[in-house]
Each structure stands twice: as C-alpha cells, then as structure tokens.
Amino acid sequence: MERRRFLSDIARYAALCAAAPNEWRITWRPRWVDDPFTLGVASGDPWSTGAVLWTRLAPKPFEPEGGMPGDRPAVDWEVASDDGFATVVRRGRYTAAPELGYSVHAEVEGLEPDRWYFYRFRSGDATSPVGRVRTTPAAGAVTPLRFGVASCQNYEQGLFTALDHLSRERCDLVTHLGDYIYERSGQDRDVRRHHGLEVRSLEDYRTRYAQYRLDPALQAAHAMCPWLVTWDDHEVDNNYAGEIGENQMESAEQMRARRAAGYQAWWEHQPVRVPRARSWADLDIRRTTDWGAMARFWMMDTRQYRDDQACGDGLREVPCGDWANPARSLLGRQQETWLADGLGASRAHWQVLGQQVMMGPYDDLSGPETRLHMDGWGGYPANRDRLLRTIAERAANRTVVLTGDIHSNWVNELRAGFDRPDHRVVAAEFVGTSIASGGDGGPQSPRLVAALAENPHIKWQSNRRGYLVCEVGTDAWTSEYREVAYVSRPGAPVETAARWRVERGKPGITRV
Ligand SMILES: [Fe+2]
C-alpha cells in the first residue's frame, strides 16, 4: 500500500525530474541527529475540501542538500480539528526525495468546507511545528473573507517586523505577490548567512530560500493560515522578461536554465499544488481559488510570458520605440485569453487579480511630458487597455487588482483604458508596499507630491513598509493599509495609515 501510494505521488513528477522510482530505497523510520523541520510548515491553495500542506526537510539548511544524507525518508502528516491533535481527521504518508529538495507537498482531501484545522508532520521521532489551515466555503456559499496581502521581502534591507504583525491579524488567507526572495545580495543583515552575490544554480536558489525560510516571523505568518503565492522577477532575475535577462548578457538557453532553477526552487518552497508543466523552465503557476461565491482569486504571472520592456527597463519618456505597439503583451496571449474568458464566465461577487506590477499609470514628470516605468503596465499600454476594456465589459466595478513590486502603497482608480482621460472607472487597484525591501522608507518627496497632483486616478500613496488587510463582503470591500515606521531595528508597532472602501457595482474608491 505504502509503495503504491508513493508511486502515484511520484508518477506525477515524472515529467519534471528524470527519476527512476523503481530503484528508490525508502527510509521508513529515519533517525535524526538534528531537527529536520528547521524551515517550518505552510499551507496553501485551499479548496472547499482540502489544501496543500508543505514542509521541507533541512536539518542543516546551509549545507548542500540541506544536510540530508541522500536517502528518501518517509514523512507522515496529520490533520486534526484541535491543536492538541486529540481528534485527527486525516493522515497520510509522503516520501521526500533529493530530486525535489526533500520538499513535502501533501494534497489533503476529505475535509469539511469553511473550517479551520491544525496540521503537523512527523518523520522518525522528529515532529514539526503545528500550522493552521482552513478550507474555503463550499461552492455557492456567500461567506465574508478577511485576508492579508504581502510582497517584496528583501532579507538584507530590513527585518520582517511586518510579517510578525501580519501573523496576528486573524486572516483567513494571505496572498503573496512575489519577490519572496531576492536573487542578488549585498551585505546580508546576518553576516553568517552570506551566500554569494547572485544565485544562479538550483542549489543556490535552494540555499537562498532556506535563508529566508529560517526567519521566525515568516514562519509564523505561514503557520497562521493558508497562502496564495505568485512570483515576480526576483525569484529568478531582476526585471527579466520571458527568456530575456536583465542585462541581456545571457542567451535564451542560459535564461531557460536559470528559470528552471529558480522556478523549481520556488515550487519546492511554496505550498502550491503539483504543477502542470513540460519542464521546470515552463512551470505554469496561473490558477484560481474560489472563496465560495464571494470571491474568485486569479493568481497571475506577469514575468514568464511578457515581451521585453520597450526602450529599456527603467523610467522613459513616452512615446518611445515599440512602446505602443498593440502586438506587445505583458501577460502573453494565452494568459490574456484565460483571464478574459474566465472573467466572463465567473459569477463570483468579486474578481480579484493577484499580480505583480502596477496597472494604474504613473506619470512622474510634472508638466506636459509623460514619463513612465517601462517594467510596469505603463510600459505595455495596449495590453493594459485591452484588459481594462475586458473588465469594463465583464466584471465592471466588482474587480479588484492587487499589486506588489514597487515597495510603496498606492490606491488607484482604474479606468476602461487610459488612452483617453474620459473613460469611466471600472476597477480598483490596491498596491501593497514591501515587507522589507527599500529599508525604513519615509515621507513623500516634493517632486512626488507635485507629480501625484497630475495623476488624478491615484487617490493615495505612501512610502513605508507593511501589508494590507482586506475585508470582503457582499456589498463592500475594504482595504486597510497597515504600516510599520521602521524595519532597521526590531520592535516597530503597526498602525493603520489609511482605509479605503469599494462598493460593489459602484465606480470609485472612497477613504473611510
Ligand atoms: Fe521587490
């Protein structure tokens, strides 16, 4: 039985790792000298009767293969209705494998809808910390939701104080919008954990994830509730586009090898389901999660399928070069169709787009010239306006776009296209600031204040670290901007900088 279950698990990875499960020797009762659960536990991608439970065995996280001896240890998982595990409702066994970084991705089925559970792992005589997971409401149920939004946690630039606060917010769910790790390294905040300037190989990326995953605040935030995770650029390479790296020094083949390493390590460290992909370099992470009939989350990928940035990656005056070419796409044609068809078909009260780069344009020059950030949606105006027109037709004023990437808070009213100023408002964009990237942050510069005055669709902006807490009801959505004043030293309290409200079916965002 155990062998059969193991084979069915591993058969699903067959396309991804050239493994020969028949020859595998499984260690049913491993003996651990050091705790193998140093990286904590996580749950994610919940559905109404289950969720993914994650851990990764790494007794010595900074040694090759996490200090694992090279065998295939059995890992048991348990789901209980109480935190003392008196009533275990589901249990199972997983086999960790070196080809997958000794990660565990148990897909638990058979739970009750709309319920909290507790879970843990055991291997030999080692027991993991306990995590909390909840299932989503059943299809058709209109159940309110409270969830957190996080992104951009550069370990060297600040402490994860915001995640520590987030772990106490009593959220049902957390969405993480990418830049979970940073591939480039300056001076680590903990010199003992310094591991080279830039990560490239699979082993490099694994070590970088381990460095981040050791953080107690990150572990606490994962243990609190299930997460929905997507990636941005730094999970592979700053500002990469498709198969084009930032510095364009690498061939497409080299970029594919780097993507394969970055994508595989991402999957190994996130509580996400078994992937559909021809190869790791093509890992397809686009997916939806339904919160009953209340909300459908669209977890998007704005890196893998995009055309290269026009006129370089930075701020450019427009028009320039290929900028306005309607053939250029940020999402890729397939993802555009997936989203357009899906928005038309979904009857959920709210459509939630979990994605990376800012959709509302920001012209940072006062006066008649326009200068935009080429890496964001402003650099892909034709694709942005196609998507906004689709939203106008299919889900007007019940679509909320959640964004990370730019290490600052923004509240943007999105119009049915930005090619003319008179289009109506059809969606709300809440850009969440970074957890740590950019350091302490501070007040707006006079230049920014002057430019914002000429961007009337931008309702608010702020430059501190933090996260969002969103409360979703049938008729209204509120986003609360939670900020910490510093991340350069521990102990910053959290405060609400602003609260914004969207009424379903009505255009516009109002401050509460
Ligand atoms: Fe970032």
From first to last of the 512 residues of the chain, give the pLDDT tens digit.
444 544 455 555 554 554 555 567 888 889 999 999 999 999 999 999 999 999 999 999 999 999 998 889 999 999 999 999 999 999 999 999 998 999 999 999 999 999 999 999 999 999 999 999 999 999 999 999 999 999 999 999 999 999 999 999 999 999 999 999 999 876 544 443 444 578 999 999 999 999 999 999 999 999 999 999 999 999 999 999 999 998 778 899 999 999 999 999 999 999 998 776 778 999 999 999 999 999 999 999 999 999 999 999 999 999 999 999 999 999 999 999 999 999 999 999 999 999 999 999 999 999 999 999 999 999 999 999 999 999 999 999 999 999 999 999 999 999 999 999 899 999 999 999 999 999 999 999 999 999 999 999 999 999 999 999 999 999 999 999 999 999 999 999 999 999 999 999 999 999 99
Tell me, in angstroms, the distance from the centre of ligand 1 to residue 438's CA: 8
Counting Cα atoms < 13 Å in the Cβ hemisphere of 312 gives: 8
Cα(152) to centroid(ligand 1), Å: 4
Residue the block writes with tokens 């900074």: 62
> How far does the centroid of ligand 1 lie from the alpha carbon of residue 453, in Å?
25
Query: Which letter does DSSP use for residue 127 in this model?
Result: E
Phi and psi at residue 359, to the nearest 5°: -90, -40
CA of 49 to the centre of ligand 1 (A): 34
Q: What is the pLDDT of residue 222?
A: 98
Burial class (CB in 10 A: 0-12, 13-18, 19+), 327: exposed
Report how far ligand 1's centroid is from the alpha carbon of 182 (Å): 8
Within 10 A of 252 (CB to CB), how many other CB atoms are there?
Answer: 11
Distance 391 CA to ligand 1 centre (A): 27
Q: How far apart are the first and last CA of the chain?
A: 57
* 509, 413 contact by CB (below 8 A): yes
Q: Ligand 1: distance of its center to the CA of 442 in Å?
A: 17
- 300 Cα: distance to centroid of ligand 1 (angstroms): 16
- Report the distance separating Cα 177 and Cα 229, nearest Å: 6
Distance between Cα 131 and ligand 1 center (Å): 27
Helices (H) and strands (E) in the chain, counts: 8, 25
Which pLDDT score is estimated for 197? 76
φ, ψ (nearest 5 deg) of residue 211? -55, -45
Strand order in the sheet with 295-299: 287-291, 295-299, 350-354, 399-403, 425-431, 409-415, 458-462
**What pLDDT is recorded for position 15?**
46
- CA–centroid distance, residue 303 to ligand 1 (Å): 13
Q: How far is the CA of 502 from the centre of ligand 1 (A)?
A: 27
Separation of 367 CA from ligand 1 center, angstroms? 29
CA–CA distance, 378 with 361 (Å, rounded to integer): 5
Q: How far is the CA of 189 from the centre of ligand 1 (A)?
A: 17
Ligand 1: centre distance to CA 357 (Å): 10
- Please tell me the distance from the alpha carbon of residue 46 to that of residue 44, in angstroms, as a whole number: 5
CA 234 to ligand 1 center in whole angstroms: 7
Q: What per-residue confidence (pLDDT) applies to 21?
A: 56
> What is the spatial distance between Cα 274 and Cα 70, in angstroms, rounded to a whole number?
23
Query: How many A from CA of 119 to the centre of ligand 1?
Result: 31
pLDDT at 7: 47
CA 93 to ligand 1 center in whole angstroms? 37
pTM higher than the cut 0.85: yes
- Report the separation in Å between the CA atom of 376 and the middle of ligand 1, taken as the mean of its atom positions: 12
- Residue 118 CA to ligand 1 center (angstroms) comes to 32
Beta-bridge partner residues of 119: 79, 131
Q: Which two tokens stand for residue 279?
A: 């190869």
Q: How far is the CA of 179 from the centre of ligand 1 (A)?
A: 5
Residue 14 confidence (pLDDT): 52
Residue 338 C-alpha to ligand 1 middle, in angstroms?
A: 26
Q: What is the enclosing helix (H) or strand (E) of 467?
A: strand 465-472
The separation between CA 179 and the C-alpha centre of its own chain, rounded to angstroms, equals 8
The alpha carbon of 122 and the centre of ligand 1 are apart by a number of angstroms equal to 35
CA of 434 to the centre of ligand 1 (A): 7
pLDDT at 2: 47
How far apart CA 150 and CA 163 sit, in angstroms, is 8
pLDDT value for 191:
40
Would you say 258 and 237 are in contact if contact means Cβ atoms under 8 Å apart?
Answer: yes
Which pairing describes strands 88-95 and 465-472: parallel, antiparallel, or unpaired? unpaired
Distance 209 CA to ligand 1 centre (A): 15
Distance 356 CA to ligand 1 centre (A): 9
Give Cβ neighbours of residue 38 (< 8 Å, ≥ 6 apart). Answer: 58, 59, 61, 214
Q: Cα of 437 to ligand 1 centre, how many Å?
A: 6
Cα angle vertex 414, ends 142, 44, to 5°? 45
Q: What pLDDT sits at residue 189?
A: 47
Distance of alpha carbon 265 from the chain centroid: 14
Tokens of 68: 């694992």
Output the CA 406–ligand 1 centroid distance in Å: 6
pLDDT at 196: 52
CB 289 within 8 A of CB 47: yes
Centroid of ligand 1 to alpha carbon of 233 (angstroms) = 8
CA neighbor of 254 nearest in space, from 246, 262, 263, 245: 245
Per the CB < 8 A criterion, the answer to whether 79 and 89 are in contact is yes
Task: Give the Å distance between the CA of 239 and the centre of ligand 1.
Answer: 10
Q: Are 122 and 75 a contacting pair, CB within 8 Å?
A: yes
CA 321 to ligand 1 centroid distance, Å: 26
Q: How far is the CA of 237 from the centre of ligand 1 (A)?
A: 11
Q: Give the C-alpha distances (Å, rounded to integers) separating 67 from 13, 198, 299, 367.
A: 23, 22, 33, 58
